[in-house]
Amino acid sequence: MTEIRRGSLPQQTFYELVGGEPTFRRLVHRFYQGVADDPELRAMYPEEDLGPAEERLTLFLMQYWGGPRTYSDERGHPRLRMRHVPFTVDRAAHDAWLRHMRAAVDELALPPEHEQQLWDYLVYAAASMVNTPG
Ligand code: HEM
């Protein structure tokens, strides 16, 4: 009989726990709907089509939470703070970004402990992206 030792099975990742790719696609799709309807925040996004930006953020979050590493295969090391330098991420932009993300997280209706874990990270990450006072 094959013995399965305690601890020998891989831990389930947060990515898997919350439902994998479809969950992250729903989250970021909903987020970008909010961006599209917010003229001030929308003005920060250089591309006419938000689709590619939606794809980049989706792939980044999937990778961050233990899913496939497609983001880094396509984009290299995330270096997110550096990638945001061209944009004026001030308090207003930070607040708008988080407001749309909050609406998107709410719609996932995750179990409370997973929702909290995801939200805590997003709050922390958004604060670390601020690069302009005021
Ligand atoms: C705090 C407010 C934030 C603002 C105003 C903001 C704004 C932007 C803008 C304008 C872009 C360029 C769109 C594109 O070409 O992809 C971008 C890219 C990106 N942002 Fe943010 N962002 C914020 C926070 C965050 C946070 C917290 C994360 C991660 C949790 C994040 C992850 C990304 C990623 C992965 C990209 C694409 C990077 C690339 O591969 O080029 N952003 N962001």
Q: State the average pLDDT over residues 84-109.
A: 98
Ligand 1, atom 14: closest residue by C-alpha: 53
Q: State the average pLDDT over residues 40-60.
A: 97
Query: In this structure, which CATH number among 1.10.10.60, 3.90.110.10, 1.10.420.10, 1.10.490.10 belongs to the domain 14-129?
Result: 1.10.490.10
Residue 75, ligand 1, Cβ within 6 A: yes
- pLDDT, residue 101, reads 98
- pLDDT, residue 132, reads 96
pLDDT band at 11 (very low <50, low <70, confident <90, very high): confident
Distance in angstroms (rounded) separating the CA atoms of residues 68 and 62: 7
For the purposes of burial, counting CB atoms within 10 Å of the CB of 131, is it exposed (0-12), middle (13-18) or buried (19 or more)?
A: middle
Residue 15, ligand 1, Cβ within 6 A: no
Residues 6 or more apart whose Cβ sits within 8 Å of residue 92:
40
Residue 56, ligand 1, Cβ within 6 A: yes
